[in-house]
Structure 1
Amino acid sequence: MAVRPYWKGFLKLSLVTCPVTLTPATTEGEKVKFHTLNRKTGDRIYTRYVDAVTGKSVDKDDQTRAYEKGEDDYVILEEEDLDSVQLGSARTIDIDEFAPADSIEWTYFDSPYFVVPDAEISEEAFIVIRQAMANQDVVGIARLVIGGRERAVMLQPWDEGIVLWTLRFGDEVRDENEYWEEVDDKPVDKKMLAMVEKLIEDRRTTWSEKMVADPVQDRLLEIIKSKKTEKKSRKKPEAPAESDAQPSNVIDLMAALKKSLEGKAETESPKKSRNR
C-alpha cells in the first residue's frame, strides 16, 4: 500500500513546471524497535534536556542552537539566521544542471525518494523530462530544502518514474586515495586470476531480495514471540569461546584457490558410495 507523500512541491526545468510529490524509497517501519525501561518498575524512561550547570530541565522554548567558537564561548543562532541561508523557494526542485549518469560516485548518494506527478495534468511534463534525461543518459542536479536543511539532489530516470537522491556534502565524503595509495599495483598471476574468475563464474546468480534478508530480525521476532508465552526469564546465551590460535597473516593463495575449486567439484559430483 502506498504511503503518504513526505514532501509536495514543483519540479521545474526552465519554463516547464509540474507539481510532484516525494516519498521515501526505503523504510524501516517493519524493523523491531526497542524502548528503554526502568528494570525495577517496568516504566518507560524518557530523555530530557537539562542545563549542564544547574541540572534543571530546560523548556523547549528556551532551547536554541549555537556554534562553539571557543571553550565555553558560543555564538547563538536564531531561527531567522538559519532561514536566511536557505533557498528562496523551499517548494521547487529547479533543475539547473545535468551530468552524465555514471559520473557521480556512489559514495555521494544518501537517501532515495520516489518522485511522482501530483496531478493528472502534470503527467505529460513529468514524462517528457524523464524520457529526455533517459535518452541523453544524464541525471539532473538541483537543490532542495528537505528535512529542514538545504541539500544538493540528483534526479535519476528509473523505469517509468524518477528517483531523487539527496547527495552528501563534499566534506562528508572521504578521499579513497588516502586509503588505497599503499596498495601495490603488482602484475597479476594469470593462473590465479583464471582460478578466481572460475570461482566467480561458479557462484554467479540472479539478483534476489533474499540476498539482503535480515536473519537477525527474524530471530528477534522469535525471541519476542517466545517471551510472550514464557514468564521465566531466558538465560543469556553464552558468548562463543574465542580460539587461542591466531590467524596467520601469510597465506598460500594458490593452495587456497585450489582447495576452493576442489570443494566445489566435490559438492557437484554424485556420491557413488550411496548407490552401491
Structure 2
Amino acid sequence: MAPRNFWKGYLKLSLVTCPVAMTPATSDREKVRFHSLNRETGNRVRSQYVDGETGKPIRDGDEVKGYPTGEDQYIVMEENELDAVALESTHTIDIETFVPRDSIGWIWHDKPYYVTPDDKVGEEAFSVIRDAMRTTDMVGISRVVLFRRERAVMLEPCGKGILAWTLRYGDEVREAKDYFQEIDRDKPDQKLMRLVKKLIEERTKDWDPSMVEDPVQDKLLEIIEAKKKKKPAKAKKGSARAEPQETPSNVVSIMDALKKSVESEKGKRKTKS
C-alpha cells in the first residue's frame, strides 16, 4: 500500500500548470526502534522540556523559537511570524531552468521524493513535461518549501512519474580539491591497472537490493522473536564479531598481491560453477 502524500501543490512550467502530489521515496519505518522504559515498572519513560536555569518543567504553549544573538541572548520568534514567511514555492514547484542531467554531482543530492499528478485532467501536462526532460536528457531546477524552509529541488523523469531530489545548500558541500590536492599520483602503472580491471571484471554483478541489507537489523528481529517465545536466540554460524586484523608489518609487492587476488577470484568462480 502506497504511503499518503505529504505535500500537495502545483507543478508549473511557464504558463503550463498541473496539480501534483509529493511523497518521500525512502522510508525508515521498517527499522527496529526501541522505547525507553523504567526497568522496575516496565512503563515508558516520558521526555519533558525543563528550563535550563530553574530546572522547572515548561508548560504547553510556553516553548518558543529563539534566534541567538549573543551569550544567553535571543530574539523570540512567534509561530505566526514564522508562518508569515510564506513563499510562492510553498504550494508551487515552478521550474525556473533546465540543466544537463550529468552536470549535477551526486554529492548535491539530499532526499528523494516521488512526484505524481494529482488528478486526471493534469496528467497530460505532467506527462509532456516529464517526457520532454527525458528526451532532452535534461533535469529541471526549481524551489519548494518543505518543513518551513525553501529548498532547491532537481526534477528528473522516473518511470511514469518524476523524481524530485532536494539539493543541499551551497554552504553544506565541501570542495573535494581541498582534501585531494595532496594526493600526488594521478596516473598509476598500466600493468597494475590491467590487473585491477581484471579484479573488477571478476567481481562485477548486476545490482540487487540484497547488497544493502542490514544484518544487524535481521539479528535484532531474531532476538526479539526469540524473546517473544521466551527462547534463547541461536547464534548464526559465522555471525560472531570478527577480531580486528593486525596491520601487516612487512611491505608487500602490489604486483604480487594483485596477481594472487586475480588467481583467487578465478578459483572462487570455478568452485561456484
Distance change in 2, residues 1:104/1:240 (3 Å): closer
Aligned residue in 1 for 2:257: 256
Quick check: 2:23–2:115 contact (8 Å CA) kept in 1?
Answer: yes
- Cα gap change, 1:43 to 1:249, in 2 (>3 Å): farther
Give 1:82 shift.
2.9
Identity score, percent: 52
Contact 1:86 1:149 in 2 (8 A): no
Structure 2, unaligned stretches of length 5 or more? none
Alignment of 1:141-220 (within 5 A): 141-220=141-220
Is residue 2:125 matched to residue 1:106? no
Q: Which residues in structure 2 correspond to 1:66-105 (within 5 Å)?
A: 66-105=66-105
TM-score, normalised by the number of residues in structure 2: 0.90
Contact persistence 2:141–2:154 (CA under 8 A) = yes
State the distance in 1 between where 2:262 and 2:19 align: 56
Q: Cα offset for 1:250?
A: 4.5
Amino acid of the structure 2 residue aligned with 1:78: E
Secondary structure of the 2:226 match is helix
| Residue 240 to residue 137, structure 1, CA distance change in 2 (3 Å) | closer
**Amino acid paired to 2:263:** E
What's the RMSD between the two structures over aligned residues? 2.5
Distance 2:255 2:86 in 1: 58
TM-score, normalisation: structure 1:
0.89
* Amino acid paired to 1:190: Q
Following superposition, the deviation at residue 77 of structure 1 comes to: 2.1
Give yes or no for contact 1:139–1:154 (8 Å, CA) kept in 2.
Answer: yes
Distance in 1 separating the partners of 2:244 and 2:112? 41
**Is 2:226–2:232's contact at 8 Å kept on the other side of the alignment?**
no
**Aligned mates of 2:93, 2:22 — CA distance in 1:** 11
Structure 2 partner of 1:11: 11
Supply the distance in 1 between the matched residues of 2:227 and 2:156 (Cα, whole angstroms): 46
Counterparts in 2 of 1:106 and 1:268: CA distance versus 1, 3 Å = closer
Aligned to 2:24: 24
Hey, what's the Cα distance between the residues in 2 that align with 1:215 and 1:86?
Answer: 44
Give the CA deviation at 1:72: 1.2
**Separation in 1, partners of 2:112, 2:240:** 40
3-state DSSP class of the match of 1:102? helix
Q: Is the partner of 1:142 in helix, strand or coil?
A: strand
Q: 1:274 aligns to what?
A: none
Please state how far the C-alpha of 1:268 moved relative to its aligned partner.
3.9
Secondary structure of the 2:12 match is strand
> In the TM superposition, what is the alpha-carbon distance from 1:157 to its structure 2 partner?
1.0
Q: C-alpha distance in 1, partners of 2:233/2:98?
A: 59
Per-residue deviation at 1:233?
Answer: 10
Q: Contact 1:86 / 1:150 at 8 angstroms: preserved in 2?
A: no
Offset, 1:80: 3.9
Deviation at 1:185, TM superposition (A): 3.0
Q: Deviations over 1:34-77 (max 9, x none)?
A: 11112222111121111011111112311111122221122222
The alpha carbon displacement at 1:104 in A equals: 1.0
Structure 1 pair 73–250 and aligned structure 2 pair: CA distance change class (3 A): farther
Give the partner amino acid of 1:44: R
Counterpart secondary structure, 1:41: coil
Please give the per-residue CA displacement for 1:193-231, whole angstroms capped at 9, x wherever unaligned. 100000000111111111112211111110001111227
Q: Which amino acid aligns with 2:141?
A: I
For residue 125 of structure 1, report the CA deviation from its aligned partner: 0.3
- Secondary structure of 2:48's aligned partner: coil
Quickly say closer, same or farther: Cα 1:193–1:238, change in 2 above 3 A.
closer
CA deviations on 1:213-263 (whole Å, 9 max, x unpaired) are: 2211111110001111227899xx9976656x4444954322221121121
Aligned residues: 269
What is the CA distance between 1:91 and its match in structure 2?
Answer: 0.9
Deviates further, 83-92 or 196-205: 83-92
